[in-house]
Structure 1
């Protein structure tokens, strides 16, 4: 039997008995559904002479002392004694991480349809990805992860490790208001550090009553919980169908990028430099269709202003507006959202970054230009500039060309 399931049963029974004393409010939540469980067990003992087998299954996880009372015909004395025993024992509290399994493998482990190496492969769980343990069958775990349910050998998973789960999970706050003010302190009276548009997902740094500290380009600031929805994100398993669809999508995007590059190259052959509005600066049109061409084109706009919500490379753009407009010059349509750009193209590792790759951070995005550097529309104070690519935690790197 799964050890974690045993702990749940013990907790429920303990909490139910405590309810019979004066601790109703503090114990109401953890005992949902437990009251009927215990009352059913006692009723069985009273009315059914052949109830031994039923009681044994109902008592899974209960201390031996207390289970003895559940397998005897109850009297006022025995029930009172049972209550006293349970009240003197330390309740076992189930952690939210008890049934979370984290894959610890070189690359990925196969999820199979049965608890056997002969079982059909129904998906893959990649290293540091998470699953929920449903049951144990021999030296296999039955798991659920994403859209995949199946079996993985226990040796490839670490279960119930809170610290590991926290380290591979990402706590995020999703903006649910049109424009979110990120403040310097956890109060509406504090100055505004920066602004974030609706739908953005920000990395959570800290949580206190009513407020959440998040990471944005201007630094770490506070947002009211009224305007965000917080959750923990884990990387989950990929089904065979999802893997096939992903590979097909990536190939289609490579072909589309190649065609866009061809068109951009033809266009650059017949175009000349253009002038920015209200400025004497001139800019070369996009030339070629590679990541390096994207990086070269983007770097021309260093020094131009940052404008929240803007998309103009010359008169002002915000971080995602800048990346969107650079790629638009090469015939590639991207969303005007830094979190939306986390799923465009296909992912590459940080140590494989090439010029033109899109580097995504919490509430920010830039274009990699090589030598550990990005070009990005940073803040109103700095405008479009070069920044060390590793100045903050990188969430993902996406490649278009």
Structure 2
């Protein structure tokens, strides 16, 4: 009889169970049958403890997606001050951007995203069980290096060749995670693998923008567009003058020479270097576009550095390999803000970034991250060049 009772109890849903004066109340939907043995064993271990409370063992584990909401709109949805379509708009949550759910009021969710707190109607958000799948699609997985020097390998194997070395606290874009390894992207054309034992991974999402932030961004973008147009005009004029002077000159080679770039005489002050850096930083967050030179609509790594310097009357070659040898080589220990740092892959220069001081660079990195700031040692630097007197 006892044997049969035990067998039935294993497969039955639990209602109320009494243990030495203590009561366990549980709902069938909250407790998987397969897990009851574990819960009971844990309870027995604490049953003699006056403070033992089995309800503590049944509390659900919080998920990172539990209070997450992601917008499902074509462009953006307004965030309002109150739960009403007539209420003041305090911000915008753009397509596939995320917010934290603070509360729910009828059909409206009170959310916080970035610097904005307000209300969004539920029909414009993905929440609950469906949000996890979308979050994994639109969120950006970022790995922070937790060891002194991390080896990035060609394949997910300790025997694979090392692509580069990454210092502690550096952040990498995670493309995929599988079997104890993370596939990471260093730049647009450099992919490698790192052991999951030496990184800490988190998910980042696009966030809301307040009305004030939107106005400031649009103003900065317009100013940048006008500056770039002015720079393009100067470049066109310089090209015309150069062509007029050298129209009868035959070139025996296409090698980069000093004649292929120009350095104005008024770029010697540290203030001018800082002006160049400040200008470059205006475009952080803008898109990466292979072959592009637009600071607002998209540039690749060398298009970014070329366009930034062009705004100050400095003409440099178009591609990173040529930029690396046309300027004045400087020691990596002597780099100054505004200098260019070059990186290699497979023995060839394939990336350039602008040094901004404090051990950091700004660069057009990849399609996913766009123009961003990194530590200058996020990859092993190959050389540094200056185009500023």
TM range (shorter): 0.5 to 0.7
Closer/same/farther in 2, CA of residues 199 and 248 from structure 1, 3 Å limit: farther
How many angstroms apart in 2 are the aligned matches of 1:202 and 1:183? 15
How many angstroms apart in 1 are the aligned matches of 2:291 and 2:99? 32
1:120 matches 2:95: no
How far has the Cα of 1:256 moved from its partner?
A: 3.2
| Partner residue in 2 for 1:246 | 217
| Partner residue in 2 for 1:379 | 345
Q: Is the 8 A contact 1:184 1:222 kept in 2?
A: no
Closer/same/farther in 2, CA of residues 269 and 175 from structure 1, 3 Å limit: farther
Closer/same/farther in 2, CA of residues 254 and 393 from structure 1, 3 Å limit: closer
How many angstroms apart in 2 are the aligned matches of 1:199 and 1:267? 40
1:166 to 136, 158, 172: 136
How many angstroms apart in 2 are the aligned matches of 1:213 and 1:346? 23
How far has the Cα of 1:136 moved from its partner?
A: 0.8
How many angstroms apart in 1 are the aligned matches of 2:110 and 2:368? 30
Structure 2 gaps, min length 5: 1-25, 247-253, 263-271, 305-317, 322-343, 352-364, 372-389
| Partner residue in 1 for 2:201 | 230
Q: Alignment partner of 2:100: what SS?
A: strand
How many angstroms apart in 2 are the aligned matches of 1:121 and 1:222? 44
How many angstroms apart in 1 are the aligned matches of 2:95 and 2:236? 40
| Partner residue in 2 for 1:131 | 99
1:153 matches 2:121: yes
Structure 1 gaps, min length 5: 1-8, 28-34, 40-82, 274-278, 288-327, 369-373, 386-391
How far has the Cα of 1:23 moved from its partner?
A: 2.4
Q: Alignment partner of 1:122: what SS?
A: strand
The TM-score with structure 2 as length reference comes to 0.52
Closer/same/farther in 2, CA of residues 246 and 393 from structure 1, 3 Å limit: closer
Q: Alignment partner of 1:236: what SS?
A: coil
How far has the Cα of 1:202 moved from its partner?
A: 2.1
Partner deviation per Cα, 1:350-371 (whole Å, 9 max, x = no partner): 7xx884147999xx94649xxx
Q: Within 5 Å, which residues of 2 pair with 1:69-84?
A: none
1:285 matches 2:260: yes
Closer/same/farther in 2, CA of residues 258 and 332 from structure 1, 3 Å limit: farther
How far has the Cα of 1:156 moved from its partner?
A: 0.5
Q: Is the 8 A contact 1:175 1:200 kept in 2?
A: yes
How many angstroms apart in 2 are the aligned matches of 1:122 and 1:265? 43
Q: Is the 8 A contact 2:143 2:200 kept in 1?
A: yes
Q: Is the 8 A contact 2:286 2:298 kept in 1?
A: no
Q: Within 5 Å, which residues of 2 pair with 1:249-398?
A: 249-265=220-236, 267-268=238-239, 281-282=256-257, 285=260, 333=277, 344=283, 347=286, 355-357=292-294, 365=301, 367=303, 379-383=345-349, 394-396=367-369
| Partner residue in 1 for 2:42 | 23
Q: Alignment partner of 1:166: what SS?
A: helix
Q: Is the 8 A contact 1:122 1:148 kept in 2?
A: yes
1:182 matches 2:121: no
Partner deviation per Cα, 1:224-255 (whole Å, 9 max, x = no partner): 643x4421110111111211221122223223
Q: Alignment partner of 1:96: what SS?
A: coil
Closer/same/farther in 2, CA of residues 175 and 347 from structure 1, 3 Å limit: same
Q: How many residues align?
A: 268
Q: Is the 8 A contact 2:183 2:191 kept in 1?
A: no
| Partner residue in 1 for 2:72 | 104
Partner deviation per Cα, 1:139-176 (whole Å, 9 max, x = no partner): 10011111111100011001022111111111112457
CA RMSD between the two structures: 5.2
How many angstroms apart in 2 are the aligned matches of 1:90 and 1:179? 41
